[in-house]
Amino acid sequence: MNPCETCAVRNQAICSALNPDELGVLNRIGRSLSMQKGQSLMWEGDQSLTVANIISGVFKLTSSLDDGREQIIGIAYPSDFVGRPFGNTNEYTVTALTDAKLCAFARADFEKFTPQHPQMEHKLLEKTLDELDRARRWMLLLGRKTAPEKVASFLLEMSQKLGGNDCSTGDTALAAFELPFGRQQVADILGLTIETVSRQMTQMKKAGLIDLPDRRHVRILQPEQLEEMSMAQPV
């Protein structure tokens, strides 16, 4: 059986536009890749040799300043596409925050395949534009939102990307997920201090908006109220 047919992100990834025969061709130029937490797939400034669909796991996209400080500039989730096709250099480092699986392609092979399948080119363009929209929303979050708005927006995005039914209660209305990083990294992502992040999450818990079974697990109890809190208020 073609492994593409049983892929967990088959309907969300860029290859969803391909028919079975085309998937067979794509499968022959790709390879399954397993990565452990902390491993990097590609490095900023290096030659762009690999592109990949994320099958499972979460990755951070980072860029470094001249003095060596690292800034997280994005998070990549299952069904996201990482790498720089039609470009010679990686613009950021891609590192696994959790154990992960990918479907990886040599950039040169992928660039030959894509023009022959315009429907996949279209899906790649859609993914690129979605990423651009996400980056613009992130600029708004970092530039204009208050600390409560930032933390609420972040938790909602994590819930949408990583959440599922709350198995502990059987309530399908509740989203539960595990943060793939600690609160210091959350603070770095949001441009806040770790104390501010912890304080905001504690206040949300006291207000009944979320539950925090431990430092990594989050349950969204009141998604509508959290959504309202996430909106940038007029100044």
CATH code for the domain in which residue 226 is found? 1.10.10.10
162-180 average pLDDT score:
65
Residue 45 φ then ψ, to 5° = 90, -15
Average pLDDT over residues 72-94: 90
Please, are residues 15 and 4 in contact by the beta-carbon 8 Å criterion?
A: yes
What's residue 232's pLDDT? Answer: 60
Q: Which residue has the higher pLDDT, 52 or 11?
A: 52
Please indicate, yes or no, if residue 204 is contained in any of the structural domains.
yes
Last residue of a domain, one of 111, 141, 171: 141
What average pLDDT does range 223-227 have in this prediction? 93
The CA distance from 36 to 58, in Å, is 11
Do 65 and 94 fall within a single domain? yes
For residue 166, the model assigns a pLDDT of 52
Report the candidate in 121, 102, 125 with the shortest Cα–Cα distance to residue 22: 121
Q: Token digits for 218?
A: 């989050």
Residue 168 has pLDDT above 50, yes or no: no
Q: Average of pLDDT values for 5-26?
A: 85
Structure-block tokens of residue 94 = 């891609």
Pair (7, 92) in one structural domain = yes
* Domain limit, last residue, from 120, 141, 162: 141
pLDDT computed for residue 108 by the predictor: 94
User: Within this chain, do residues 133 and 18 fall inside the same structural domain, yes or no?
Assistant: yes
Q: What is the pLDDT of residues 87-135, one digit of tens each?
A: 899 999 999 999 999 999 999 999 999 989 888 888 888 888 888 888 8
Q: Is residue 108 domain-shared with residue 194, that is, in the same domain?
A: no
How far lies 56's CA from each of 29, 161, 235, in Å?
20, 11, 40
Query: Containing domain of residue 168, as a range?
Result: 146-230
